[in-house]
Structure 1
Amino acid sequence: MHRSILYVEDDILFGETIEEFLIQSGYEVVWVRSFEAAMQESYQREYDLFLLDIKLPDGDGVAILESFRKNNINTPTIFLTSKQDALKQSFREGADDFLTKPVDLEELLLRIEAVMRRAGKSQKFQIGDVTCDLESLTLQKGDETYILQSKEAKLLELLWQRRGKVVSKEEIFEELWSDADPSDGALRVYIARLKNIFGKERISNIRGVGYRLEA
């Protein structure tokens, strides 16, 4: 399953940009535009992350978070705001992070992943038709279940975190073999197996440099 985000933002153009980017990055996004809609939606289901604007036409994001926390909804929360004077209050209510507008999209993605990682919610993700669960070291593709070795799981996590970008072999060696001599042969075996599972088009070999995951 895709990780889910409840996104609260009343600015249509800004909201469309963020929603499209997060969906392309592999998230399920439910976008609402008001305090009332956010409150209604939050009690319909559980989310992996709340992404909140502070200033809304019928209230503000800090009040939303205050209500969530009073009702023991402890979902990780990031604010996107241009209203600096409310940030201290937002952290008192239990916010995990914030970004000021205009938002750098790559920074937003990194902060979301960091917050989810701290909350223990970053171990499951979707790549194409494969559900990845790094906590249990399993990949599910239709009726097939694949068990990963620990180094394969570390390699997949690194490629996922840097998806769309080239990860150098040096970075991979440092991550997978920090306590031992790196094995180029073993790396090729891991890459070949991941390609067999995800499809050769998903993982590109950048000759002489490294590998890139297209998620």
Structure 2
Amino acid sequence: MTKVLLLEDDELFSLSLIDYLEEFANVNITHVNTSTKMLEMIYENRFDLYLLDINLPDINGIDLLREIRQATDETPVIFLTSYKDKETLTQGFSTGADDFLTKPFDMDELILRINSLMKRVKKQNLIVLGNVEFNFDTKEVKKDGELVKFSLKALELFELFYQNNHSIVTKDMIINRLWNASETYSDGSIRVYVNSIKKLFSDSELFHISNIKNIGYKIEY
């Protein structure tokens, strides 16, 4: 199921949108009404798609997207906005938006655009770093063309690391990505998954993980 973060300050519109999409589009939506709340939410949670308004009470949607992209977050974005002018459209796409829909719009058209965008993103679910290949569709990892025994949680952790190049991944970020509320975890298991990733790149400097004591890990590639 596609995980969507909706940023919209119109509560009535948000409720209508959430009800329709969750019933007909096979998505799970988390809703926030300010850019500040969104930044807090995406710091420790992963989403497949952002639906963003532009005219917001704090940071406008285009400036917010610029901040997100500068943080190397490449999550697909669709702007849902009442703006129709060419200048705003140009700004949005140049900042990193993937699509625009002008309010009012047909809900079914939004679903079609979401599905189309998710299909395009799915085709990019292959990461190759030197002689190491991560396939997130088949959940397989290869080194020098040979399959490597690699746990699903280690694969999820690599994806989290990959999405946070030149950033610090905290222990809380790791726990939220790898375990749900009903599961238990241990510091030892985190170290095992980190070491399994380090082992893949032990013969190269293509992907570097530094331990930041009592905080987490710094990622550089």
* Residue aligning to 1:17: 16
* Residue aligning to 2:51: 51
Instruction: Please report how far the alpha carbon of residue 59 of structure 1 lies from its aligned counterpart in structure 2 after TM superposition.
Output: 2.0
Which 5+ residue runs of structure 1 have no aligned equivalent? 124-134, 137-215
1:84 is aligned with what amino acid? K
Instruction: Please report how far the alpha carbon of residue 22 of structure 1 lies from its aligned counterpart in structure 2 after TM superposition.
Output: 1.5
* Residue aligning to 1:29: 29
Instruction: Please report how far the alpha carbon of residue 122 of structure 1 lies from its aligned counterpart in structure 2 after TM superposition.
Output: 11
Equivalent residue of 2:122, what SS?
coil
Q: Distance in 2 between matches of 1:39 and 1:11?
A: 18
Would the alpha carbon gap of residues 65 and 121 (structure 1) be closer, same or farther in structure 2, given more than 3 Å must change?
Answer: farther
Equivalent residue of 1:43, what SS?
helix
* Residue aligning to 2:103: 101
TM-score (norm 1): 0.55
1:97-117 deviation per Cα after TM superposition (whole angstroms, max 9, x unaligned): 010001200000000011111
Q: Distance in 1 between matches of 2:97 and 2:123?
A: 16
Identity %: 40
* Residue aligning to 1:156: none
Q: Distance in 1 between matches of 2:93 and 2:65?
A: 10
Q: Find 1:91's aligned residue among 77, 93, 96.
A: 93
Q: Distance in 1 between matches of 2:124 and 2:28?
A: 14
1:136-159 deviation per Cα after TM superposition (whole angstroms, max 9, x unaligned): 5xxxxxxxxxxxxxxxxxxxxxxx
1:72 is aligned with what amino acid? T
Equivalent residue of 1:118, what SS?
helix
4+ aligned runs moved over 2 Å, structure 1: none
TM-score (norm 2): 0.54
Would the alpha carbon gap of residues 28 and 122 (structure 1) be closer, same or farther in structure 2, given more than 3 Å must change?
Answer: farther
Which 5+ residue runs of structure 2 have no aligned equivalent? 126-136, 139-221
Tell me the number of residue pairs that the alignment of Structure 1 and Structure 2 aligns: 126
1:6 lines up with 2:8 in the alignment: no
Q: Give yes or no for contact 1:77–1:95 (8 Å, CA) kept in 2.
A: yes
Q: Give yes or no for contact 1:76–1:96 (8 Å, CA) kept in 2.
A: yes
Q: Distance in 2 between matches of 1:67 and 1:81?
A: 19
1:12 is aligned with what amino acid? E
